[in-house]
Amino acid sequence: MIVKNYFGETADGRAVDCYTIKNTKETAVDIITYGATINSIYAADRNGVFADILAGFDTVEGHEKYSDYEGMTVGRYANRIAGGKFSIDGIEYNVEKNENGKTCLHGGAELSRAVWKAIIIDDCSLEMSYSSPDGAMGFPGKVDFKVTFTLFEDNSLKVDYYAVSDKKTVINMTNHAYFNLAGKGDILNHELMINADAYTPIDADSIPTGEIRPVEGTPFDFRVSKPIGRDIGAEDEQLAIGKGYDHNFCLNEGDGPAAVAYDPESGRMLEVFTDLCGVQLYTGNFLDGTKPGKKGEGLIKHAGFCLETQYYPNTPNMPEFPQCTIDAGEKFTSCTVFRFSVK
């Protein structure tokens, strides 16, 4: 079942709607048209008690004033592009430097601040679409984007991404949900597994150095599930740069989950499946309690964790990384599934 409600309006007067997808198990997902944002996910704990397991905001104003991309669809290029520039076929493109005047972060936030058009496909699927003009944020090509959200009876939320451009361009889309499976507090006691033998170390601007570094023997080894907070304070240059985890993991190939998170207190579990090569683990290191989140409560440090399925950061400038350049008329597609359960 999908129900549409008015959510509010942006500061410049654009109306924003909320679509609630609910299955027969009462699991529910709220998606708002501002940023094609997964705004809330209501999931049961081991005792059948439901809670919203996403950190974020309950008003449009909150998203506009305070957002760190909570729940938003991000692109054209998710994550960072060094120096705000890259080249395609010898042509240099200068894109928005929206992070410290140095890097392009999440495509300059164009998709995240847009109001998307919504179409209800059926009782469990919602399609969001947005057309980005040629040259938006400096990127080449007029690009038509679609994101389809489907909630299944097994409590899986499937997110399908689609894009097609009229010029050769780069595409890297993801969702920036901040999960907190307890529905409160911080996520340091959550147990996390990431199916990755390596990660990409970063420089002072959070740009990959180009090294593919093995996780073995480092705080970045999540191949066996462990509490997120166990090693987050370890003496490690990479953790110091990110003030915690804010790194891309190079996913191993295979059919199993890319990541599994578990909250021992509530029993809620999240499995993440993707056809992409990387996932960014971000642990809310820069939240400090000063931004009012849902119910006016401050978004505290480590209020949520992100598992952003993606191509690696700065790929357009790193030919040794798996590439995500598409030709004019070529269809970009990817799929990520978030499956919720209890144990």
Active site residue ranges? 176, 308
| Nearest to 78, CA basis, from 282, 216, 284 | 282
Apex 283 CA angle, 333 and 254, nearest 5 = 40
Q: Which tokens in the block code for residue 85?
A: 């520039």
Q: Identify whether the C-beta of residue 315 lies closer than 8 Å to the C-beta of residue 144.
A: no
| DSSP track, 28-66 | EEEEETBTTEEEEEEEE-TTS-EEE-EES-SSHHHHHHH
Positive or negative: CA dihedral 258, 264, 269, 270: negative
Q: Which tokens in the block code for residue 21?
A: 């997808």
30-60 as b/e: b if 16+ CB within 10 A: bbbbbbbbbbbbbbbbeeeeebbbbbbbbeb
Give the C-alpha separation, 307 to 127, whole Å. 22
**C-alpha dihedral (266, 271, 272, 277), degrees to nearest 10:** 120
**238: helix, coil or strand?**
helix
Alpha helices in 100-198 (DSSP H): 110-113
